[in-house]
Amino acid sequence: MFRVIVPWEAMSISVSPFIVSLIVTLSAVQAVAVDSNSIKVRVWPERVQQGDACLIQLIPDGPFTRVALRWRKEAFPFHREEACDSYSLLFGIDLDEPAGKKKCQIVIQTSQGKAHDTAINLEVTEKQFPTQYLVLPPEMVTLNSEILERVRREKKAVQRIWKSSGPTKLWKSRFMMPLDGEVLSPFGVRRIINKERRNPHTGIDLRAKLATPVLASNEGIVALTAEHFFAGKSVFLDHGMGVFTMYFHLSKIWVAEGDKVIRGQVIGLVGKTGRATGPHLHWGVRIKNSRVDPLSLLRLKLE
């Protein structure tokens, strides 16, 4: 096994000796050879941090029938980009993923039916998330058994949808902000509420006036609409291939489960439902069951 680490790419590729030679390129692209195929691998962003959305692109010399990333015993198929003859995977690094080098395999099936494994070391760098101290009325923080049961039920209903995403890519080009507003509370903030450590903030809070239209960040299907204890009136959009965006604390919901939505379509209005101290939009993103910073998704130049 030999390996080349290119620091500006924050990534290395290891190839088992039986998979022939390894060629290092001069640009931000790394190349490996699998059989007679030369494969280039790129990762965006160049420095992947905890809580980042990232894009892995494979540019092969010849056609493959299937390309997948193996991560924690799960296989995540790449999408074939016909326009640029490449394979891409929109992936997410959970905010609680420990920093360090991650070994993962890229499984490639050639058109001759041969399967190959190429090992990739994806380096996740540590991100310093800020700490926020909040003081809330005790009744908003201490939950009675009835509410705890409700919260558990709602959590289960949400967890079910993460498994429901289809294998087809539904998003078109880049994701967009659901509204134009300043970030009041960033992603990943460690929260101390009434002097007690609570769950980190897994989205961003955007400043907005009551009843401001909330736009779908990209094309997709409405996976869930709900009125939950914490999230209030909320919409969950499935953009395919395990990519979800969610919109919380709405005053009005203008879509229904199963609806197809287009990028920029109004899906509801800003409110302060659920556990919110004032009107704002909480916007969250989940990719392959990882909680990622919505702003990191916006930065990716997607096809």
Q: Which range, of 10-18, 162-170, 229-237, 278-286, touches Zn ion by CB under 5 A?
A: 278-286
Q: Which of 300, 303, 289 is nearest to 92 (CA)?
A: 289
Nearest-approach distance from CB 249 to Zn ion, in angstroms:
8
Residue in the block written with tokens 């899906």: 267
Q: How far apart are CA 95 and CA 146, in angstroms?
A: 30
40 vs 249, beta carbon nearer Zn ion? 249
Q: How many residues bind Zn ion (CB under 5 A)?
A: 3
Q: Which is nearer to Zn ion, 78 or 236 (CB)?
A: 236
* Minimum distance from residue 125 beta carbon to Zn ion (Å): 25
116 or 201: whose CB is closer to Zn ion? 201
Closer CB to Zn ion, 282 or 286, in the complex: 282
Phi, psi of 178 (to 5 degrees): -75, -15
Q: How far is the CB of 171 from Zn ion (least distance, A)?
A: 23
Distance of closest approach, residue 197 Cβ to Zn ion, in angstroms? 17
Smallest distance from Zn ion to CB 282, Å: 3
Q: Classify 17 as helix, strand or coil.
A: helix
Give the contact letters, 192-231, x = binds to Zn ion (CB under 5 A), - = no: -----------x-x--------------------------
- Name which of residues 97 to 136 contact Zn ion (CB under 5 A): none
Stretch that binds Zn ion, among 6-14, 120-128, 215-223, 274-282 (CB under 5 A): 274-282
**Which part of the chain contacts Zn ion (CB under 5 A), choosing from 51-59, 61-69, 218-226, 281-289?**
281-289
110 vs 273 by CB, closer to Zn ion: 273
CB of 201 to Zn ion, least distance (A): 6
Cβ proximity to Zn ion: between 203 and 220 the closer is 203
DSSP string, the chain: -EEEEEGGGTEEEEE-GGG--EE--SSS-EEEEETTEEEEEEEESSSEETT-EEEEEEEESS-EEEEEEEETTEEEEPEEETTTTEEEEEEE--TTSPSEEEEEEEEEEETTS-EEEEEEEEEEEP----EEEE---HHHHSPPHHHHHHHHHHHHHHHHHHT---SS----SS---SS---EEE-TTPEEEETTEE-PPP-EEEEE--TT-EEE-SSSEEEEEEEEETTTEEEEEEE-STTEEEEEEEEEEE---TT-EE-TT-EEEEEB--SS-SSSEEEEEEEETTEEE-HHHHHTS---
CB of 79 to Zn ion, least distance (A): 30
Taking CB atoms, the residue at the shortest distance from Zn ion is: 282
One-letter amino acid of 275: R
Q: Does residue 282 touch Zn ion according to CB under 5 A?
A: yes
Answer yes or no whether residue 293 interacts with Zn ion by CB under 5 A: no
Cβ 255 to Zn ion, closest distance in Å? Answer: 21
Interface residue list for Zn ion (CB under 5 A): 203, 205, 282
